[in-house]
């Protein structure tokens, strides 16, 4: 009953903005968006459906206030404490069920990774101390599309894909010397028992550039990385909360045990906080849409632990949901656990961050801020003529070198 007055108000505000005299119009559409966070700017709202995504959308105070009201409305009815305990206790089973239902068809491969995170490429000099500032361009118009009319989503097939056959390549035996002791490895299908037998050895030990993706899911970042980075000196570790998701990664035809090691790991279980590689050995940690699924009480502990895995100068690359993203505003009443922490219909949980919250968590873990951006975009379904406001937080935090600690 309240939607029509709100929609009318937003429409009036939008029309007023569009008619405001003196606004500069600038339209970029012919080239691929540049980084950071793209440069496809919507300055002529009549052309909104010419592209699937518009960058650097600035909200008016009115839009911000309407989004806040919608989030408060969604949060007015809380999930009972008994159910909250259940969702927390059975979190892994909900994610297992998610990947059983969707296999690797739900999320698209993240081809944008190397545009936004070139630090994933090996042999780059780590001169990332310049803080990247958000665009303050006053010529950018806010979108005329209402925040309250974004209820339709593109349909995604739920058909279960058949599990691909498992391919693990056996390599020729390789002789390695560690601490003066020669070790012969007849296979690269490493198992925990094998690593225990060979003291000091761990998969990827000979690699000079090590990447660790936390929360790999079905491999939507793993396989773009493996396809792009073919340097034999680079090794990729990946883990997930869901054993079923890790099985999907290891059964993928592109999975190569000589270049990648996938394993099941619970970030929140302090008793199992060991990793198949030593602390201080990782160059880059990729943390994309993972921290939001963790209970806020445990977030600081998780980042503290991950920071220990980094080499001095190593970096955590972070991207996750921002406050008042479309996915938050479209949640129904009764899904809020507390604050900005919700449970979806499938039992998986999600938190929506501000830049300040992220900065506090990472800096408290002893990391240095390199980038902290609020990425506001307009996602467009050109076929259905629907535009949706998306909000993400993108950050880069670096472990200081020893001489920087003072």
Yes or no: say if 372 and 395 are a contact pair by the CB < 8 Å rule. Answer: yes
Model pLDDT, residue 366: 97
Residue 353 sits at the vertex; the CA angle it makes with 348 and 354, to the nearest 5 degrees, is: 170
Yes or no: say if 397 and 373 are a contact pair by the CB < 8 Å rule. Answer: no
Q: What is the Cα–Cα distance from 325 to 147, expressed in whole angstroms?
A: 10
Model pLDDT, residue 62: 93
Confidence band for 106, pLDDT divided at 50, 70 and 90: low
Yes or no: say if 25 and 10 are a contact pair by the CB < 8 Å rule. Answer: no
Model pLDDT, residue 107: 60
Yes or no: say if 387 and 145 are a contact pair by the CB < 8 Å rule. Answer: yes
Main-chain dihedrals φ then ψ at residue 225, nearest 5 degrees: -70, -45
Q: What is the Cα–Cα distance from 209 to 104, expressed in whole angstroms?
A: 27
3-state secondary structure of 307: helix
Answer whether residue 129 shows pLDDT above 60: no
Q: How confident is the model over 185-211, as a mean pLDDT?
A: 66
Adjacent-strand bridge partners of 395: 318, 372
Confidence band for 198, pLDDT divided at 50, 70 and 90: low
DSSP state of 50: G
Question: 297-335 in b/e burial notation, b at 16+ Cβ within 10 A?
Answer: eebeebbebbbebbbebbbbbbbbbbbbbbbbbebeeeb
Answer whether residue 32 shows pLDDT above 60: no
Q: Would you give the end-to-end CA distance of the chain in angstroms?
A: 59
Yes or no: say if 175 and 182 are a contact pair by the CB < 8 Å rule. Answer: yes
Confidence band for 37, pLDDT divided at 50, 70 and 90: confident
Answer whether residue 363 shows pLDDT above 70: yes
Q: How confident is the model over 164-193, as a mean pLDDT?
A: 35
Model pLDDT, residue 358: 97
Q: What is the Cα–Cα distance from 4 to 148, expressed in whole angstroms?
A: 10
Question: 157-182 in b/e burial notation, b at 16+ Cβ within 10 A?
Answer: eeeeeeeeeeeeeeeeeeeeeeeeee
Q: Set out the domains of the chain in order of their start, with CATH numbers.
A: 84-136+171-320+344-372+393-404 (3.40.50.150)
C-alpha count within 13 angstroms, C-beta hemisphere, residue 7: 8
Model pLDDT, residue 124: 60
Residue 327 CA: distances (Å) to CA of 147, 149, 153, 294, 349: 11, 13, 10, 17, 12
Answer whether residue 336 shows pLDDT above 90: yes
Q: How confident is the model over 57-86, as a mean pLDDT?
A: 92
């Amino acid at each position: 009953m309240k939607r029509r007055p709100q929609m009318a108000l937003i429409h009036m505000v939008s029309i007023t903005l569009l008619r405001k005299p003196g606004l500069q119009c600038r339209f970029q559409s012919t080239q691929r968006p540049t980084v950071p966070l793209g440069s496809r700017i919507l300055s002529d709202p009549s052309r909104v459906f010419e592209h699937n995504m518009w960058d650097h959308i600035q909200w008016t105070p009115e839009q911000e206030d309407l989004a806040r009201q919608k989030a408060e409305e969604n949060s007015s009815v809380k999930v009972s404490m008994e159910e909250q305990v259940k969702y927390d206790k059975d979190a892994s089973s909900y994610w297992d069920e998610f990947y059983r239902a969707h296999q690797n068809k739900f999320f698209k491969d993240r081809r944008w990774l190397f545009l936004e995170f070139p630090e994933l490429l090996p042999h780059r000099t780590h001169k990332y101390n310049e803080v990247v500032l958000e665009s303050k361009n006053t010529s950018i118009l806010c979108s005329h599309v209402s925040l309250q009319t974004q209820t339709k989503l593109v349909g995604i097939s739920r058909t279960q894909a058949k599990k691909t056959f498992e391919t693990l390549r056996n390599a020729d035996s390789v002789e390695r010397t560690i601490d003066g002791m020669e070790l012969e490895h007849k296979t690269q299908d490493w198992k925990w028992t094998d690593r225990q037998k060979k003291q000091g050895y761990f998969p990827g030990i000979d690699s000079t550039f090590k990447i660790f993706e936390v929360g790999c899911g079905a491999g939507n970042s793993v396989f773009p990385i493996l396809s792009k980075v073919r340097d034999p000196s680079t090794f990729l570790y990946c883990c997930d909360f869901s054993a079923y998701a890790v099985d999907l990664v290891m059964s993928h035809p592109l999975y190569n045990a000589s270049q990648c090691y996938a394993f099941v790991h619970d970030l929140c279980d302090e008793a199992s906080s060991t990793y198949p590689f030593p602390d201080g050995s990782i160059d880059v940690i990729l943390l994309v849409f993972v921290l939001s699924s963790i209970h806020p009480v445990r977030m600081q502990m998780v980042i503290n632990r991950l920071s220990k895995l980094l080499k001095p100068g190593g970096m955590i690359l972070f991207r996750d949901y921002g406050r008042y993203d479309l996915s938050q505003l479209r949640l129904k009443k009764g899904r809020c656990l507390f604050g900005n922490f919700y449970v979806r219909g499938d039992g998986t949980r999600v938190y929506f961050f501000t830049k300040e919250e992220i900065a506090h968590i990472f800096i408290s873990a002893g990391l240095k801020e390199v980038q902290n951006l609020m990425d506001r975009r307009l996602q467009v379904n050109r076929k259905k003529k629907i535009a949706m406001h998306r909000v993400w937080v993108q950050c880069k935090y670096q472990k200081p070198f020893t001489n920087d600690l003072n």
